């Protein structure tokens, strides 16, 4: 029995379609790299009372990633227009998968300087350090953001508060690429009331 050329062509087309459907998930999977935020136990540059020490030991860092921007905050996150789904406690780490690419690091810093209202507290004490560092996510490789919280004391006339400086190491391919404190107020910092970007709610 002879098989027509048309039948052969139809069989070939069906086989090709079946093969494409079978293998397409293998090619459609998005490539990913591993990101680890490692938050070291805090160290203190000042002597702390046992009560304060116990409170600080339960501290944590809140952070999130949107697009290619990593943001962490020392100010209360409810005043920021950004999603902070992760809370990593001192001495622990968090691992997530990210798309390959370059990610910038922004820190919303805070040093308590007093104020009789929330607006005044933020105006005096909060600031933005935008794009202070960046890290690279590479497919099937690990990038580590290692953060050491260093406790310092902020003080007004009536209240003493203890807040960390965040000393960051970026580790790629098991090599420390850069080390920098991201939470200090500097010449490139933007004061809370002077910032009009997307990280603040619009009035």
Question: Nearest 5°: CA angle at 140, between 84 and 106?
Answer: 30
Q: State residue 15's pLDDT score.
A: 39
pLDDT in tens, the chain (203 residues): 555 554 444 444 433 333 343 444 443 457 999 999 999 999 887 788 888 787 788 889 999 999 999 999 999 999 999 999 999 999 999 999 999 999 999 999 998 887 789 999 999 999 999 999 999 999 999 999 999 999 876 655 445 667 789 999 999 989 999 999 999 999 999 999 999 999 999 87
pTM, two decimals, is 0.81
Asked if residue 159 lies in contact with residue 128, where contact means CB atoms within 8 angstroms, the answer is: no
Per-residue tokens: 183: 């939470």
Strand, helix or coil at 160? strand
Distance CA(106)–CA(124), nearest Å, equals 19
């Amino acid at each position: 029995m002879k098989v027509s050329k048309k039948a052969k062509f139809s069989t070939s087309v069906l086989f090709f379609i079946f093969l494409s459907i079978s293998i397409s998930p293998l090619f459609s999977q998005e490539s990913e790299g591993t990101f680890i935020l490692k938050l070291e136990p805090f160290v203190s540059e000042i002597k702390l009372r046992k009560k304060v020490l116990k409170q600080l030991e339960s501290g944590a860092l809140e952070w999130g990633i949107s697009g290619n921007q990593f943001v962490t905050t020392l100010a209360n996150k409810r005043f920021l227009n950004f999603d902070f789904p992760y809370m990593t406690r001192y001495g622990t780490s968090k691992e997530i998968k990210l798309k390959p690419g370059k990610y910038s690091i922004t820190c919303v810093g805070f040093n308590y300087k007093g104020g009789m209202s929330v607006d005044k507290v933020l105006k005096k004490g909060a600031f933005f350090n935008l794009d202070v560092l960046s890290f690279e996510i590479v497919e099937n490789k690990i990038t580590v953001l290692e953060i050491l919280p260093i406790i310092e004391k902020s003080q007004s006339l009536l209240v003493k508060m203890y807040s960390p400086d965040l000393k960051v190491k970026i580790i790629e391919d098991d090599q420390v690429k850069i080390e920098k404190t991201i939470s200090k107020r500097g010449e490139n910092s933007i004061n809370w009331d002077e910032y009009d970007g997307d990280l603040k709610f619009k009035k």
